[in-house]
Amino acid sequence: MPVMTKTPLGDDIVILSRAEYDALTLGRGDEDAADAAQANSILADIESGTETLLTREQASELLNAKTPLSFWRRHRGVTQEALSKSVGVAQGFISEIENGTKTGDVQTLAAIAKALSISLDDLVIAKPVKFAKKRRAGKRRTPLIAAATGQSRTRPRATKRSPKTTSVSTC
């Protein structure tokens, strides 16, 4: 059982038995070997040119770009027209994806990534999830359709407690 104590200077320390220490460090050699293999793989990808390194300025430019596509296309020196021909879509569609007005489907984005020699992950930015605010007790939500049309619900909803009501209002 570990013993928790303090040093003469007041720092917290824990005293473990050899068995507890060995149990904590047992898989550490395997983890270190796996980390070294991962690092070697990345270094090999960099040397072969399959992994791209960015300078601080380029990374800042990527982060400040409207979309990753706009950065990577310019970084690779490819025009929208050339990229659209390579991918087989209209130049305007490339422009819309680049400006963020359209997202493009997975197949199109994969083709764009391949044409720019980047991964699909390099083109896609995960948007943060917004959590719904908690409703205050007693406040009823307006149905989506009613909210969009500005109408309010005129008929009650069907509930399990009223078996005579068999339809649900769709407004």
Classify burial at 96, counting beta carbons within 10 Å of its beta carbon; exposed 0-12, middle 13-18, buried 19 or more.
middle
Q: What b/e sequence results for 27-45 when a residue is b if at least 16 CB atoms lie within 10 Å of its CB, and e otherwise?
A: eeeeeeeeeeeeeeeeeee
| 36 has a pLDDT exceeding 60 | yes
pTM: 0.53
In percent, the amount of the chain with pLDDT more than 90 equals 43
Residues 80, 73 contacting (CB under 8 angstroms):
yes
Residue 30: its pLDDT value, please? 78
At residue 38, the pLDDT reads: 92
Under DSSP, the state recorded for 135 is: P
| Secondary structure class of 97 (helix, strand, coil) | helix
Per-residue pLDDT tens over the stretch 41-69: 989 988 887 788 889 999 999 999 999 99
| Assigned CATH topology for domain 56-123 | 434 Repressor (Amino-terminal Domain) (1.10.260)
**Cβ neighbours of 169 (radius 10 Å):** 14
Tens digit of pLDDT for each residue in 67-95? 999 999 999 999 999 999 999 999 999 99
Q: What is the pLDDT of residues 95-147, one digit of tens each?
A: 999 998 988 899 999 999 999 989 898 888 766 556 655 555 555 554 444 44
Contacts of 171 (CB under 8 A, 6+ apart): 143, 145, 146, 149, 151, 153, 154
Helix, strand, or coil (residue 26): coil
